[in-house]
Amino acid sequence: MDSDFTQIEQALRESHVALRQSREETRQMVERYLLLADAAQDALWDWDLVEYKFFVSDRLYEMLGYSKDEYDLCSADLLKLIHPDDRDSGTDGGMFHESCPQSEGAFCNEQRLMMRSGEYKWFLIRGKNVYDSEGKIIRRAGSLTDITERKLYEEEIRQLAYFDSLTGLPNRTYVMHEMLDNARRRVPDSKYRALIFIDVDNFKYINDHHSHAVGDSLLLEVTRRLKLLTGPDTWLARTGGDEFVLLQSTGNSLEFVDGLAESIVQLFAEPFTFAGNSFYITVSAGIAVYPQDGDNIELLMKHAELAMYQAKEAGKNAFSFFNNDMASQMREKVNMDKHLRDAIRNHEFHLHYQPQFDVTTGAIKGFEALLRWNSPVYGQVSPVKFIPVAEESGLIIEIGQWVLNEVFAFAASISHLGLCVSCNISAMQLQQSYFVEEVTALFDHYQLKRGSVALEITESCLLDSFEQSSQKLAYLQNYGLLIYLDDFGTGYSSLTYLKKLPINVVKIDKSFIDEIVENVTDRRIVQAIVSLAREIGLDVVVEGVETKPQYHYLSESSCQYVQGYLISRPVPEQQALQLLDQSFDYLNN
């Protein structure tokens, strides 16, 4: 009996020791938990979905600035602090849902909670689910980490990556990655969206001839005016130096897009003023419509830009809608560009020479070299078609170098005759930093005499950098080359060029000659140009002379030099040389 009591006593003693040890371990665990919870930078949370009880640690009160007396964060009141844009219709306001599952049972989410000051902080909400035997979630627990600084840093990086530093507008990266998706989210029911590609006409001219301060101020003014057309369904971005994009959600109709484009053009009817000076600027715009002109931003941008170039070709200060013909023309340009590259390698280019005739002496005074392309794919291609493609692609540089070499070689072969051979140069050639050195090297290589070669320029060569171009031409003129101003009378500032440019010869455009016999205005224009040129010591070549009445009128008007089909069409080199022995007595009959 005593032994039984002894065993029971021993068992009770051992049980008491074990219980006391368990209590101590529990106390230590609680102290450790409280210490960790107090020391942790994160707030801890625990949600019992069976009892529907919620707990957050005191750390969240510190983070948000609330006291327990004024706000109970261990209740549904916490959900009222969620930013409206982050809240959904679920029972937890979207705060503890599995928006970003990491592994089975674990999840994370990012949301903003309102502080006592009224500002918002960003939190990373991590959690883990506890399931019952049937797989139903009965509990969730985790932490809330303040990630506000990280979000601010990310926003700063995003600002640098997606926004233009000058205007503050979204940039091309934003357009290509986010603009269309944002429009779909913001206005999901819109059937159409119009993307308008806007380019400031002749912006480079203003930037180069004034200052970058003027250019920047102009871009800011362009931005300000375009913003007048924006609203909740409109996005505006700056995609390049003087290029802007406007995306408009148009609902179920495209009727007002035409009016919107017209409004864009009209925004620039008023001059732009900087430092007391007024500048008139215009814009050209191209429009592509989603989804009919493209179901992605790359296609829309490409097609809107094509339409913008169509507006520029039509005279600028206008807008144009994309159509499939533009895409066909672009494909044709791409194909022609490819064949042009092959043409350089395969020596498919050749020169024809058209004589310039001296009315006084009745003899040829020189030749103009004209480029021809005999393509195995296209046949004989007009320069009107392939020269613009070569200029857009930059191939005109390589082609122009070949032309210069051929022309200088031909000029050297007939230098003993005292004739001059001229050739056209493009604006792109003239802008090259090495152009002067290239020309003078050829001049020296072929040991040419002064006046044996002429370079023909048009006003388009001078628009982008007038001062630099004038200096280059003056240097070449002093070196022994002649400078011809081609297509005179067709530009808006030709008289300015006569005064400031180092030119020797003015070429009157064919458009003034076609009806010179019948049209009094054309006759007076030609007479005025000839008189003006003589007054300032310039020679005149009249282009496009095709009939004897035209020739007779010009000869009677003291025009000394003519060029045109009446004298000869452009012909290959050997035929050009044969023209030197030909009699032109028939011109006087």
* Residue 346 predicted with pLDDT over 60: yes
The answer to whether 443 and 474 are in contact (CB under 8 A) is no
Q: What is the mean pLDDT of residues 237-263?
A: 86
333-342 burial, b at 16+ Cβ within 10 Å, e below that, comes to beebbebbee
- The string of DSSP letters for 132-147 reads -TTS-EEEEEEEEEE-
Q: Rounded to whole angstroms, how far apart are CA atoms 172 and 180?
A: 12
Cα 145 to Cα 125: distance, rounded to the nearest angstrom: 7
d(CA 541, CA 526): 11
The reported pLDDT for the residue numbered 325 is 81
Residues of the chain with pLDDT > 90, as a percent, come to: 33
Helix, strand, coil: what percent of the chain each, to 5?
45, 25, 30
Question: Is the pLDDT score of 40 beyond 60?
Answer: no
pLDDT at site 224: 94
- Does pLDDT of 30 surpass 50? no
What value does the CA radius of gyration of the chain take, rounded to a whole number of Å? Answer: 40
Asked if residue 381 has pLDDT above 80, the reply is yes
Mean pLDDT score of the chain: 85
Domain boundaries along the sequence of the chain? 1-39, 40-151, 163-322, 332-580
State the architecture of 40-151 in CATH terms. Answer: 2-Layer Sandwich (3.30)
More confident residue, 185 or 388: 388
Distance of CA 208 to CAs 205, 462, 469, 473, 543, Å?
5, 12, 12, 18, 33
C-alpha–C-alpha distance, residues 349 and 404, integer Å: 13
Q: What is the pLDDT of residue 77?
A: 79
The end-to-end CA distance of the chain, in Å, is: 161
Q: Kindly write down the DSSP assignment for every residue of 470-505, as one continuous string.
A: HHHHHHHHHHT-EEEEEEETSSTTHHHHHHHS--SE
Residue 532: the pLDDT is 84
CA dist 331 and 231 (Å) reads: 36
Give the CB-side neighbour count of residue 45, counting CA atoms within 13 A. Answer: 25
The confidence score (pLDDT) of residue 578 equals 94
540 vs 554: CA distance, rounded Å: 11
Beta partners for residue 139, in sequence order: 48, 130
Check residue 374 and give its pLDDT.
Answer: 93
Note the pLDDT of residue 201: 87
113 vs 280 pLDDT, higher one: 113
Is-contact 44 35, C-beta < 8 A? no
Using an 8 Å Cβ cutoff, are 563 and 354 in contact?
yes
Calculated CA dihedral for residues 37, 38, 44, 46, nearest 10 degrees? 70
More confident residue, 578 or 32: 578
pLDDT digits (tens, 9 = 90+) for 268-307: 888 888 777 787 888 999 999 988 888 888 989 999 998 9
Task: With a cut of 70, say whether residue 463 has pLDDT above it.
Answer: no
pLDDT above 70: percentage of residues in the chain: 88
The span from the CA of 340 to the CA of 390, in Å, is 7
For the stretch 513-527, pLDDT in tens is: 888 888 888 888 888
For residue 64, pLDDT over 50 is answered with yes
User: Does domain 163-322 correspond to CATH entry 3.30.70.270?
Assistant: yes
| pLDDT on residue 174 | 85
Q: pLDDT tens across 217-242, in order?
A: 889 999 999 999 888 888 899 998 89
Residue 364 has pLDDT above 90, yes or no: yes
Spell out the residues 6+ positions from residue 214 whose beta carbon is closer than 8 angstroms to its own.
206, 207, 274, 275, 279
**Token pair listed for 465:** 């950098």
Range with lowest mean pLDDT among 93-102, 103-112, 271-280, 495-504: 93-102
Q: What is the dihedral of CA 425, 428, 433, 435, to 10 degrees?
A: -20
- Whole-number pLDDT of residue 585: 83
Q: How far is 558 from 542, CA to CA, in rounded Å?
A: 11
Q: Which two tokens stand for residue 534?
A: 């003589």
Residue 509 CA: distances (Å) to CA of 63, 179, 519, 563 = 79, 48, 15, 11
CATH of domain 332-580: 3.20.20.450
- Say if residue 36's pLDDT is above 60: no
Retrieve residue 255's tokens: 């009727």
Would the pLDDT of 485 be above 60? yes
More confident residue, 455 or 488: 455
Q: pTM (2 decimals)?
A: 0.59
CB-based contact 448:415 (threshold 8 Å): yes
E strand or H helix that includes residue 58: helix 58-64
Beta bridge partners of 285: 198, 319
Residue (of 357, 352, 481) closest to 410 by Cα position: 352
pLDDT tens-digit readout, 173-191: 888 888 888 878 778 878 8
Mode of pairing for the β-strands spanning 453-457 and 482-488: parallel
